[in-house]
Structure 1
């Protein structure tokens, strides 16, 4: 196992700990030479605190099996953490209805109390006729739905919380609710491992004939469900990075929460409203509204954004009176038009649309207005993030070569993968410089750091190497001149570099290294090997540095792989073993030709997949002699 699971000695119990519901938890590590994760098992509080011998064996064997499966998978596939947890499909816990089951349904139908059955996902699987009568909906309308969706008056986190308490604790739970306008109902939940049975009775019956308490005359506060939605969206918006993320999150949260059918998010760009995203509108319905000027009186979005005041139009008559023809154009009959502003700056507008008339209550208006402020702040952050990303991505593309020089008899392929999450920028670089019709200088390097400063210095080094290559073809001289220039720039950063002169006429390669990792070489009929190159000091460390040059044969059919350390170095991994693994990958792949060289780059990237997020940039340059 590589570690003792928490469940082997004693299960974690809620006793002595503050928990919302009583339960027992077992936690066990999934390890096989390296930590992969953990297995968590949840039991109701009635489970013994000490695991049985059989449970301990099952937990240990399951963790071992999971660790082996994960380890075996990562040997052949590059591990990429999923963007969201995988949710397994619902399992059938009990067989279908039998004649005895029909008899049980008849039995429930004769009872004076209403009966419901829910699965562990909260869906209604059975509704007795008496329960349907008490709930005010038909049986077929309710079966297969979530109660808090099919019965709007149960759409309150207070009632959902009771359901969760029953599922987790496996203890009976009761609560009271009012079915509009004034039917008081009492719900009793009885859970087990397969679901929940619910008894529904009129509250006066459950109180032995005592009338329900009188309703308070003071104003009712805003619904708890709306406030819960406000808090939930505020939490989720903190994780939205891009404008696209914000649009999707707002649409996923607001549209179902307010029983709306559509949503449009506009952004202010050059005194115009541009559609950033929408949900629930017909294709082309927003074409005439996209790009409307802010001073336009044709659209409520432009007016609300200019004035900074929300509009609530609850019927087609309200819309037609202020904006003739707009309801027909969009196919919507009610709107909540919410200006998005931050610190008196206009960000955009959010329009929540309804296909039927929708009178907006006071609490809906208050919550929607509050949500507009949260959305505006999230959009402002997302726009800044997108602008930084575009700037960084454009800088990286400008600094790296748009394409590699073409020489007869030489095939090439290259790739660059940044380590900085979300920025796509770093200090690794590569280039291929044509020296003559039959010779070229190939270079690959790594500037210290993964930020804009590293990328800027990388661009200066690459430009310097190109300039020096036009004066001398000797890779040792190129590195020495570049080193002097870097010292003159007085930069705090250093860089490694490998420079190779290819002479296709003589079938020879001359290599010089400034503290860079050795390349991989695969000749025809020979096993791939790590090429020994005598390294000189890193660029930018010392003046007067010498860089020895090593000559190797480069006959037709030879493949030379240049790379940066991000390809082979990772915390906890052995460098020599990683280098040999990539050399073996060159042997496994048939000698590439044409477009297949790009596939070999992908194979090298998958050879030693990282066990976690990538921490360093990767640059790869493949050179294949074919003539």
Structure 2
């Protein structure tokens, strides 16, 4: 078999190619293999020469090689290798070689491929060393062996780290990132991407026109876009030219082309090993992204990720505490005839924006109102949680119709049971041998009659109320009281009876209003008294604002001496003012009827009485609805309980704008439950009917039993001539 020979020209070219060692020697380059686990560096003759060693191939110790490197350059190697491993790229560095006297004899460039052995934590590098001549003008600015570059970089990173650490919100972090001026190369376009499920979202950007982020918002992670790839893989993407971008990401290039940038760096934002987003730095000029430049960008990305994580956590905490505060502090509700109310809550205690202070306004079954203000010991999450539980318990005891002393006694036992069972900072019972933490709360409970101005006050270790008389005189009312809630479950809370005259104002507050600003008890009350006496008395809301301003004014922020070191506390207070002239009493119609278990026929009498009560009601259809709801409610009591029913019907207001309220009270604690009756069902429609026909309805627990009620507002639509009521059948 005959084999064709290559043409002469091919044979000549092949014979002209030098061997690998000869080519490396001609290029003044040498090969090396560095095993950090063994501490051995294997070099060929040229690499040994470049390292300042005898030009003989073989193995040398790591310590001997290290002695030939400039100490500053040696410290750079570890960071360069780690960065190359993270990016799965080549490790490149310029290294100064010194002789035995410590003089720099040459500069070499190292290019190697690192391999990381996770089981041993060691690296293995295989690469080349090449001697380089003098740097061209300006090139030294980017060289890792140039002291000016290193000092500039270190100063920049220190300043950037400090600024990012001080940023307290995402917006501040983005502003800091936009102002970063990196040494020797600074991007003119920035974008920070976050994650929303399996989509990218633009958290913020700089250097682009408003709305430019539109095409990049809600971008799926599987999109052919560099930021999406960075988030998927956790590896940085560097694009040194538009050609690189167009070649590697042809689909996304049409989105990036209009911005007319020349180079791009996309880096992962990693926190605790988890990629939370990506950072894009875009340049208006070509950037080669040397190892030093990549190291700077990587460091900035790490700091940026940490800053964004801290800012996000802080914003979440602020949102949580603000929501907690809003949910725990009630609204004052509709106006109450005869009195006016104003309230404020001002968190001033530090990081957590809600603590143990609270106030509440509770409508009572008797038609009166209860004003409650209290302060749970401490200013932390535990105090806030106890405050919420105690507030709910107080509302429940008040709604059951208990007197002020009984409400506080029950609340004290409730709080003692909570704090005895749960240690500080825990969510379960105290472990054996560990003492549970005892938390207490001060509280002031006022039951007020809007018509007569009678106040019945029970106090548990709380500041006493202050009364501003009609002529502006302020008196601190002495009231009896007991220990704070939660200390002794058997404490009694005597009741003090006061009368608030027309034009007078009562202030109840927590000690934060008195002592904030470094004041003690005496000077704090003097400040509050002065504000109450000097402030115009026309607007209760303006008076409330004046009290807050007095506490947070310039004097409260510039107190000196020992008092200035006292810890600030939250502020909560309530103002109650009785009208200057008693409101005219509107005539009220009222009827009561008891229906016993043995007298079901009296349900018909109840329907008849309600029709008589509403004989001049404008809308006859509403009368029929009211009669039907009364019949259903009374019947439910007789069918589902073992006790009697008491019906109370009351009409208040002027003709045409009147309101009917009907209550049916029984002694059973079992609350009715709404059901969806079937087509042939004979029961289960009572609550459904009230939901459809009543303007408002509900079921309120009482001390013993419950009250089912509904309300109707008089409609002025014409219902035709009044007709005679039909006869009412029995049940």
User: Same-fold call, TM > 0.5?
Assistant: yes
Aligned equivalent of 1:550: 496
Q: Pick from 409, 413, 423 the counterpart of residue 484 of structure 1.
A: 413
Aligned equivalent of 1:272: 199
Secondary structure at the counterpart of residue 509 of structure 1: strand
Give the Å deviation of 1:437.
Answer: 8.4
Q: How far apart are the structure 1 equivalents of 2:364 and 2:394?
A: 12
Aligned equivalent of 2:27: none
Compared with structure 1, are the counterparts of its residues 311 and 618 closer, same or farther at alpha carbon in structure 2 (3 Å cutoff)?
same
Q: Contact (CA 8 Å) 1:592, 1:600: kept in 2 or not?
A: no
Q: How does 1:298-309 map to 2 (within 5 A)?
A: 299-309=225-235
Aligned equivalent of 2:212: 285
Q: Contact (CA 8 Å) 1:427, 1:449: kept in 2 or not?
A: yes
Q: Pick from 604, 609, 627 the counterpart of residue 556 of structure 2.
A: 609
Q: Pick from 367, 371, 384 the counterpart of residue 300 of structure 2.
A: 371
Aligned equivalent of 1:260: 187
Per-residue deviation, residues 515-536 of structure 1 (Å, max 9, x unmatched): 0012221121141222222221
Q: Contact (CA 8 Å) 2:372, 2:446: kept in 1 or not?
A: yes
Aligned equivalent of 1:619: 572
Backbone CA RMSD of aligned residues: 3.0
1:243 paired to 2:170:
yes
Q: Contact (CA 8 Å) 1:286, 1:330: kept in 2 or not?
A: no
Compared with structure 1, are the counterparts of its residues 600 and 373 closer, same or farther at alpha carbon in structure 2 (3 Å cutoff)?
same
Q: How far apart are the structure 2 equivalents of 1:256 and 1:509?
A: 72
Give the Å deviation of 1:514.
Answer: 0.4
Q: How does 1:120-519 map to 2 (within 5 A)?
A: 220=146, 222-254=149-181, 258-297=185-224, 299-321=225-247, 322=249, 323-330=252-259, 332-404=261-333, 406-435=335-364, 439-472=368-401, 474-491=403-420, 492-519=438-465
Aligned equivalent of 2:527: 581
Question: Greater relative contact order (Cα 8 A, min sep 6): structure 1 or 2?
Answer: 1
| Structure number, greater radius of gyration | 2
Q: Which runs of 5+ in 1 are unaligned?
A: 1-179, 184-213
Compared with structure 1, are the counterparts of its residues 357 and 598 closer, same or farther at alpha carbon in structure 2 (3 Å cutoff)?
farther
Compared with structure 1, are the counterparts of its residues 333 and 413 closer, same or farther at alpha carbon in structure 2 (3 Å cutoff)?
farther
Give the Å deviation of 1:469.
Answer: 0.9
Answer with 520-529 or 247-256: which moved more: 247-256
- Residues matched between the structures, number: 416
Q: How far apart are the structure 2 equivalents of 1:368 and 1:490?
A: 52
Aligned equivalent of 1:521: 467
Per-residue deviation, residues 350-376 of structure 1 (Å, max 9, x unmatched): 112234444434322221112212222
Compared with structure 1, are the counterparts of its residues 459 and 219 closer, same or farther at alpha carbon in structure 2 (3 Å cutoff)?
closer
Give the Å deviation of 1:582.
Answer: 0.7
Q: Pick from 511, 528, 535 the counterpart of residue 565 of structure 1.
A: 511
Q: How far apart are the structure 2 equivalents of 1:437 and 1:411?
A: 19
Aligned equivalent of 2:664: none
Secondary structure at the counterpart of residue 451 of structure 2: coil
Secondary structure at the counterpart of residue 238 of structure 1: helix
Give the Å deviation of 1:477.
Answer: 2.0
Q: How far apart are the structure 2 equivalents of 1:609 and 1:564?
A: 17
Q: Contact (CA 8 Å) 1:405, 1:432: kept in 2 or not?
A: no
Compared with structure 1, are the counterparts of its residues 240 and 587 closer, same or farther at alpha carbon in structure 2 (3 Å cutoff)?
same
Q: How far apart are the structure 2 equivalents of 1:269 and 1:452?
A: 29
Q: Which runs of 5+ in 2 are unaligned?
A: 1-134, 421-437, 583-731
Give the Å deviation of 1:405.
Answer: 5.5
Secondary structure at the counterpart of residue 343 of structure 2: strand
TM-score (norm 1): 0.61
Compared with structure 1, are the counterparts of its residues 313 and 402 closer, same or farther at alpha carbon in structure 2 (3 Å cutoff)?
farther
Give the Å deviation of 1:325.
Answer: 1.4
Give the Å deviation of 1:550.
Answer: 1.8
Q: How does 1:82-97 map to 2 (within 5 A)?
A: none
